[in-house]
Amino acid sequence: MQSDMKTPLLSTSSSATSESEAPPPSLSSPVISIIGSGDFCRSLSIRLVSCGFRVVVGSRDPGRVLRGLFPDGVELRSQREAVEAADRVVFAAVYPEHYPTLLGLREPLVGKVLVDVSNAASLSGGGRSNAERLAEMFPKSSVVKGFNVVSAWALQVGAHDGSRQVLISSDCSASKASVLQLARRLGFSPVDLGGLCASRHIEEASLTLFPSWGGPVLTTFLLFLFFYGYIFVRHILLPYLDKGENKFYQLPLVTVNETLPSVALVTLALVYLPGLLAAVLQLGRGTKYQMFPVWLDLWLCSRKQLGLLSFLCAVLHAVYSMCLTLRRAAGYTLLNAAYQQVKGGVQNSWVEQQVWRSDLYLSSGILGFGVLTLLAITSLPSVGNALTWREFTFVQSGLGYAALTLSVAHTLFFGWDLAFFPSSYPYFLPPVFLLALILPCSVLVGRILLALPCLTFRLTKIRRGWESRRQRPKHDPEPGSTGVDPPRNFGDI
Ligand code: NAP
């Protein structure tokens, strides 16, 4: 089997070959077999043939399979004949519950690479994977997990339209290398996930729905519910119950537009808060070599999603704001105000302070939105991958804090001096912009404190691998020391 594994799968170079460059299958082309003649098999055979491979399909009853569903050149045979015809690689394109029916193929499969393309039936989170069970059934073949994350449709149309990534794992590195090479030849981007123990994760990958988005979406949704409910109670429900004022017409647009900026601002603060908490933990522990709590790890991993959700809320706020004047209610309100002004004999309603306030409010909002857009663009993998690590951290951290500062300024200019008037606290409820500012302002203050030289100095040292005395093992004196406890220095504070 070892000597077989040394045989190259493909005679040509390992570099990806495009469909147009692929030579037509000839008698010298490698033969790849597929067991099962269903949807996956059909799409895979189309792709393999177009990339220059000869394909033999193994069916329980080849006479029943519709020949016209397969491209020219594909041979339909019995399962045993197909396995025997394969040069080296055999795909098992049947459902895992049918694997036991393949046990009769043990002997012809000896020394061959058996590719398991099945998906998990449910998210059981544990237990043996389909690929591990297949490996137990065929101990003399080398089982490789792969191609299950690619749909039959993506296989057929080519890797350009569907996801290009193919996750691959196997305990036999030579067989895995062959399948990685094959995936590249088919135009996919194979990702080596290591041994067959990773196959459970690969099989479940196709069942998870946006796995990294659940927490951030739920957080944003709960924030939306909180602010929307708060505004509803403060602006609409209590005035209605108290004075009989009917402002329910504000629910679909005005209330949503008041909610969105608060959600965007708090969500943006949530992007930067875990970084500060991580820095405080490292400072407190005096080392970077201790694990963060799980919740902080998860939070740190959700920052991109939180940032994009904040951007989404900001975009919606911008669009809603532009539509505010299109409302019939806005027209009536303007006419009524103009009438009252004429009736009151006011010729000039210009208030210099309000002019400055609105211009500063709009300008800081537009700038903040612009910077946030830049952040969102650089979080796209295609753009982010083109940046160096230094450039990426500059944009995501430097410009991120700039976006947060501008958004806070936008909110402060909106509130102006409102917070100082008792009339702004009807029913003892503070204005919503004050609530929305609590977390972002705390984050900005925290960032400023961390920028103090004494803290920056210590944090930089810690992130370069320095550890405080109480973290160091007793037998490991500080470099250059005599082993005697050195006096406490600035960094040990
Ligand atoms: P399918 O269309 O139902 O084809 C399965 C094939 O298995 C049948 O054509 C049949 O071939 C064979 N088969 C059926 N019953 C059998 C039995 N009792 N014993 C032995 N063989 C039997 O399914 P598929 O969509 O091609 O999926 C096949 C595998 O690919 C599954 O494990 C699936 O998870 C995986 N997959 C599918 C897709 C996709 O988009 N379809 C994507 C990723 C992974 P013969 O009658 O010729 O023997």
Under 8 Å between Cβ of 113 and 88: yes
Task: Return the pLDDT at 237.
Answer: 97
For residue 125, pLDDT over 70 is answered with no
Q: 93 with 36: CB under 8 angstroms?
A: yes
**What token pair was written down for 372?**
């946030």
Which pLDDT score is estimated for 485? 38
Instruction: Give the integer Cα–Cα distance in Å for 75 and 135.
Output: 27
* Residue 357: Cβ-neighbour burial (10 angstroms; 0-12, 13-18, 19+): middle
Residues 6+ apart with CB under 8 A from 253: 320, 323, 324, 327
Residue closest via CA to ligand 1's atom 20 equals 98
Q: Is the pLDDT of residue 492 over 60?
A: no
Residue nearest to atom 37 of ligand 1 (CA): 40
Top mutation candidate among 65, 70, 94, 206 for ligand 1, by most atoms within 8 Å of CB: 94
Identify which of 431, 413, 407, 433 has the alpha carbon closest to the alpha carbon of residue 355: 413
Grouping H, G, I as helix, E, B as strand and the rest as coil, residue 376 is: helix
Using left for φ > 0, alpha for ψ between -120 and 50, and beta otherwise, residue 112 falls in beta
DSSP tag of 236: I
- Closest C-alpha residue for ligand 1 atom 12: 36
Q: Among residues 63, 50, 195, which one has the least CA distance to residue 132?
A: 195
Location of structure tokens 């210099």: 352
Q: Which of 110, 176, 123 is nearest to 147 (CA)?
A: 176
C-alpha of residue 305 to centroid of ligand 1, in Å: 36
The pLDDT assigned to 210 comes to 85
CA 311/CA 305 separation, integer angstroms: 10
Burial string for 399-418 (b: 16+ CB within 10 Å, else e) reads ebbbbbbbbbbbbbbbbbee
What Rg do the C-alpha atoms of the chain give, in angstroms?
32
Interatomic CA distance for residues 44 and 33, integer angstroms: 10
Average pLDDT over residues 136-140: 97
Q: Which amino acid is at 108?
A: P
- The first and second tokens of residue 256, run together, are 């949503």
Separation of 8 CA from ligand 1 center, angstroms? 28
Burial of 384 (0-12, 13-18, 19+ CB in 10 A): middle
Check whether 483 has a pLDDT greater than 70: no
DSSP one-letter code for 145: E
CA of 35 to the centre of ligand 1 (A): 9
DSSP conformation class of 95: -
d(CA 87, CA 25) in angstroms, rounded, equals 14
**Closest C-alpha to ligand 1, atom 14:** 94
Query: Which is the closest atom of ligand 1 to the Cα of 95?
Result: 32
The C-alpha atoms of residue 53 and residue 212 are separated, in whole angstroms, by 37
Indicate whether 9 pLDDT > 90.
Answer: no
Q: What is the average pLDDT value for the chain, to the nearest integer?
A: 89
Residue 203 has pLDDT above 60, yes or no: yes
Pocket test for ligand 1, best of 37, 40, 115 (most atoms within 8 A of CB): 40
From 69, 79, 95, 114, mutation site for ligand 1 pocket: most ligand atoms within 8 A of C-beta: 95
Per-residue pLDDT tens for 430-449?
A: 999 999 999 999 999 999 99
Q: Which of 37, 39, 207 to mutate to test the pocket of ligand 1 (most atoms within 8 A of CB)?
A: 39
Strands 54-59 and 31-35, bridge-based pairing: parallel
Within 10 angstroms of residue 283's Cβ, the number of other Cβ atoms is 16
Helix (H) or strand (E) holding 91: strand 89-92
Q: How far apart (Å, rounded) are the C-alpha atoms in residues 467 and 368?
A: 38
Q: What is the pLDDT of residue 24?
A: 63
**Mean pLDDT score, 167-195:** 95
pLDDT higher at 156 or 397 = 397
Q: Which residues contact 43 (CB under 8 A, 6 or more apart)?
A: 152, 153, 155, 156
The answer to whether residue 16 scores a pLDDT higher than 60 is no
Closest Cα to atom 2, ligand 1: which residue?
38
Phi, psi of 389 (to 5 degrees): -60, -40
Q: How many helices (H) and strands (E) does the chain have?
A: 20, 8
Query: What per-residue confidence (pLDDT) applies to 207?
Result: 84
Residues within 6 Å of ligand 1 by CB = 36-41, 59-60, 65, 93-95, 98, 101, 117-119, 148, 151-152
**What is the distance between the alpha carbons of residues 47 and 30, in angstroms, rounded to a whole number?**
14
Task: Look at ligand 1, atom 23, and give the residue with the nearest C-alpha.
Answer: 38
User: What percent of the chain stands above pLDDT 90?
Assistant: 79
- Higher local confidence (pLDDT), 473 or 67: 67
**In 41-133, where do the E strands start and end?**
54-59, 75-78, 89-92, 113-116
The atom number, within ligand 1, closest to the CA of 40 reads 26
Residue 224 has pLDDT above 60, yes or no: yes
CA distance 224 to 54: 56
Residues 241-277 pLDDT 10s: 999 999 999 999 999 999 999 999 999 999 999 999 9
Q: Which 3-state string (H, E, C) describes 267-327?
A: HHHHHHHHHHHHHHHHHHHCCCCCCCCHHHHHHHHCHHHHHHHHHHHHHHHHHHHHHHHHC
Q: Strand 89-92 to strand 113-116: parallel, antiparallel, or no bridges (unpaired)?
A: parallel
Integer Cα distance of 216 and 159 in angstroms: 30
**pLDDT over threshold 90, residue 360:** yes
Helix (H/G/I), strand (E/B), else coil: 351: coil
Using 50, 70 and 90 to split pLDDT, how confident is the model at 473? low
For residue range 43-102, list pLDDT tens digits in order. Answer: 999 999 999 999 999 999 999 999 999 999 999 999 999 999 999 999 999 999 999 999
User: Residue 18 pLDDT > 60, yes or no?
Assistant: no
Please report the pLDDT score of residue 13 as a whole number. Answer: 40
Question: pLDDT tens digits, residue range 282-323?
Answer: 999 999 999 999 999 999 999 999 999 999 999 999 999 999
